[in-house]
């Protein structure tokens, strides 16, 4: 499949490119600066395209079958940018995908996005942005998968996860394992039109996904 990756230069995005290099998929990496291109191609991007989620990205998405959204304004920006990128940027990309006939959209959301007001106060604007984007995706008519990781770490991945529609206990997960989950979702239809939480666990990623 031709996969459009928003957030390809990010930490999960770069792990995903490495994982995808071993797959049959073509990874088109959205970047904001031309100098990000060579390194991402080295990692595994089939091609890089310039664009900004705060603008129209339709030109950059031409010919793709699937979108993976793993972008985010990050912890150092204010709430305005969180709305602009995590919410409105995601929504714009979904609407563009649908208008272009791209049928599948895989979203990196966050645990607790289901009930933002139950999250820590300082994260509520972020959780609401994720929540609103997820709700838009669910109603979009796109074939969606919403992946809701717990707290991300830079530990080496174990390839083993706990994956459920709704987990009661918050947990952590290495970014590398989130990337593995995204690739497994891409290669399966088990998670079509599904939402799930994921943290580190005991089950190999593909088995955990098959048991969803
Ligand atoms: N931190 C956590 O514990 C946690 C938990 C659950 C879920 N998440 C979610 O996980 C996802 C990825 O996390 P991460 O650690 O990989 O994030 P990251 O390293 O901060 O990467 C974010 C990426 O988004 C890109 N981006 C930001 N604004 C953009 C724009 N306007 N147009 C195009 N691209 C833009 C950045 O581009 P540049 O490289 O050009 O800056 C960067 O590549 C995010 O959606 C985040 O909300 C995080």
Q: Which has more confidence, 188 or 76?
A: 188
65 CA from centroid of ligand 1 (Å): 22
Per residue in 48-82, pLDDT tens? 999 999 999 999 999 999 999 999 998 888 899 99
Q: Environment class of residue 105 by beta-carbon count within 10 Å: exposed (0-12), middle (13-18) or buried (19+)?
A: buried
Tell me what pLDDT residue 198 has. 98
Q: Identify the CATH number of the domain in which residue 96 sits.
A: 3.40.50.720
Provide the domain limits for residue 21.
2-210
In tens, the pLDDT along 14-26 reads 999 999 999 999 9
* Sign of the torsion angle spanned by Cα atoms 173, 197, 118, 6: positive
pLDDT tens digits along 136-173:
999 999 999 999 999 999 999 999 999 999 999 999 99
Task: Select which of 69, 105, 126, 144 is catalytic.
Answer: 126
Ligand 1: residues with CB < 6 A are 7, 9-13, 30, 32, 52-54, 70-74, 85-86, 89, 108, 110, 149, 151-152, 175
Q: Is 126 a catalytic residue?
A: yes
User: Are the C-beta atoms of 148 and 165 separated by less than 8 Å?
Assistant: no
Q: How far is the CA of 106 from the centre of ligand 1 (A)?
A: 14
pLDDT value of residue 54? 98
Quote the number of domains for the chain.
1
Q: What is the mean pLDDT of the chain?
A: 97
- Residues above pLDDT 90, as percent of the chain: 98
Model pLDDT, residue 200: 98
Distance from Cα 7 to the centre of ligand 1, integer Å = 6
* CA–CA gap between residue 113 and residue 157 (Å, rounded): 23
pTM of the model: 0.98
* Nearest atom of ligand 1 to the alpha carbon of 12: 16
> What is the pairing mode between strands 160-164 and 151-153?
unpaired
Question: What are phi and psi for residue 123, nearest 5 degrees?
Answer: -100, 0
Q: Take atom 12 of ligand 1 and give the residue whose Cα is closest.
A: 70
- Give me the pLDDT at residue 77, please: 87
């Amino acid at each position: 499949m031709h996969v459009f990756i928003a957030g390809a230069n990010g930490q999960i995005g770069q792990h995903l490119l490495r994982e995808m290099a071993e797959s049959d998929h073509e990874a088109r990496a959205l970047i904001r600066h031309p100098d990000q291109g060579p390194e991402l191609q080295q990692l595994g991007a089939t091609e890089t395209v310039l664009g900004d989620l705060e603008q129209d990205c339709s030109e950059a998405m031409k010919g793709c079958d699937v979108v993976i959204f793993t972008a985010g304004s990050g912890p150092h920006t204010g709430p305005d940018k969180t709305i602009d990128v995590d919410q409105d940027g995601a929504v714009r990309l979904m609407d563009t995908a649908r208008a272009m006939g791209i049928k599948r959209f895989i979203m990196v959301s966050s645990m607790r996005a289901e009930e933002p007001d139950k999250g820590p106060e300082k994260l509520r604007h972020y959780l609401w942005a994720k929540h609103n984007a997820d709700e838009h995706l669910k109603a979009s008519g796109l074939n969606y998968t919403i992946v809701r990781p717990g707290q991300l770490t830079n530990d080496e991945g174990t390839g083993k996860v706990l994956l459920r529609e709704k987990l009661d206990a918050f947990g952590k997960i290495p970014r590398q394992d989130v990337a593995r989950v995204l690739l497994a979702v891409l290669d399966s239809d088990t998670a079509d039109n599904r939402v799930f939480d994921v943290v580190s666990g005991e089950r190999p990623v593909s088995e955990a996904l098959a048991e969803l």
